Structure 1
């Protein structure tokens, strides 16, 4: 399973953003969470997922907001599951805790830990997959507000001509914004990262439930 623990950046000098972030994630990814995202230690949120695609999407959303250090733990979780994420335990939760601690000092504010015993060796280790995810996060971090505007409209299914009309710019300018935003690189990288996350998850599910 996948456990994400996110710690709010510079929370002492900012308002508590946990509640609104939880509400936004639930609205954007209905049905993605095995347990509802939960506010744990003050300015921290925690969530449990089984799907690698949804896990990457949540990480990307958290990172885009600019307010979170993100730890991803991959491993088994103690069963039966409790009513809330804050009551849950297991290897994946331990891994997420270690990962978010490292993420606070990492350039991309992201850490990944493969926790507990593993079976067959994964295609790439956790450290290598973490580096690849971080590369994507840093790419997206450099995207301008104008680039995001074009990318978001494209993601909603608009054509470049329609995006140009919506933004009141030329179609050539839309194309330039998408190139500068490295949209195609972003979209090409995501399926590969999902496969690598799935492979890490598979390496932990061959060994039985967490102790």
Structure 2
């Protein structure tokens, strides 16, 4: 499981953005995201690709610190994230605090949950931690592309993604150009400058690393409990 703890940046001098993010995430994922405390929200997702989608969506506006915790979760089906427990929640809390401390970097961190040094095999713990660090590195690189994208670039990217969810076939780009009233060449140039192709290619890599980290972390906890 992946717990995402997302905290608003500069909330003391800004409007409360939690309701809008909760609403937009509801259109993105079936997982429940809700305010946990103050200007923070939290949710639990099962799929690594879904965790990537949520994290990058939150980074998009530049208003959020994003922490991803990987590990065990105890939560009743359909239950509120506020009722959950497990080391993934602890890891997510640590991750969002690390994101806040990442001065000058993309404000996202990934932390592997553990069951304690005496309970899980060292190689598996180390592999899980390393995979988490690699996932964080990829997500920060992609997050930089997402945060630097202009409104005009987002209009093209959003429309293209809504049409096919992919990197941009010729026919889809032509349709986007027609709907937005711009030339197909403009669409092509915008996609190139926005880094959309690179983002689309890197998302599965980030998800694969999160998935591998999860497998090693959960596996180490199972082995350690024998």
Q: TM-score, normalised by structure 2?
A: 0.84
Q: Secondary structure at the match of 1:28?
A: coil
Deviation for aligned residue 1:65: 2.8
Trace 1:171-186 onto structure 2 (pairs within 5 A).
171-186=184-199
Q: Deviations over 1:111-152 (max 9, x none)?
A: 110011466334943222211110110011111211111111
The partner residue of 1:76 within 60, 72, 76 is 72
- Whether the aligned pair in 1 keeps the contact of 2:112 and 2:129 (CA below 8 Å) is no
**Partners of 2:41 and 2:47 in 1: CA distance:** 18
CA pair 82-91 structure 1, distance change in 2 beyond 3 A: farther
Deviation at 1:84, TM superposition (A): 1.6
Confirm whether residue 53 of structure 1 aligns to residue 70 of structure 2.
no
- Contact kept? 2:65, 2:96, Cα under 8 Å: yes
Match of 2:85 in 1: 89
Which of 143, 148, 151 is the aligned partner of 1:142? 148
Deviation at 1:99, TM superposition (A): 0.6
Give me the whole-angstrom Cα distance separating, in 2, the residues matched to 1:164 and 1:180: 16
Question: 1:19, CA displacement in angstroms?
Answer: 2.1
1:140-180 residue CA offsets vs partner (Å, 9 max, x unmatched): 11112111111111112272222222222211111111111
**RMSD of aligned C-alpha atoms?**
2.3
Which residue pairs with 1:11 in the alignment? 11
The separation in 2 between residues aligned to 1:83 and 1:210, in whole angstroms, is: 28
> In structure 2, what is the Cα distance between the partners aligned to 1:50 and 1:209?
21
| Bigger helix share | 2
Name the SS for the 1:128 alignment partner.
helix
TM-score of the superposition, structure 1-length normalised? Answer: 0.89
Offset, 1:5: 0.3
Counterpart-to-counterpart distance in 2, 1:48 and 1:19: 17
Partner of 1:111: 109
- Cα distance between partner residues in 2 of 1:122 and 1:84: 27
The alpha-carbon deviation at position 81 of structure 1 amounts to: 6.7
Segment of structure 1 superposing worse, 90-99 or 126-135: 126-135
2:67–2:109: 8 Å Cα contact kept in structure 1? Answer: yes
Count of residue correspondences: 207
Q: CA deviation at 1:7?
A: 0.5
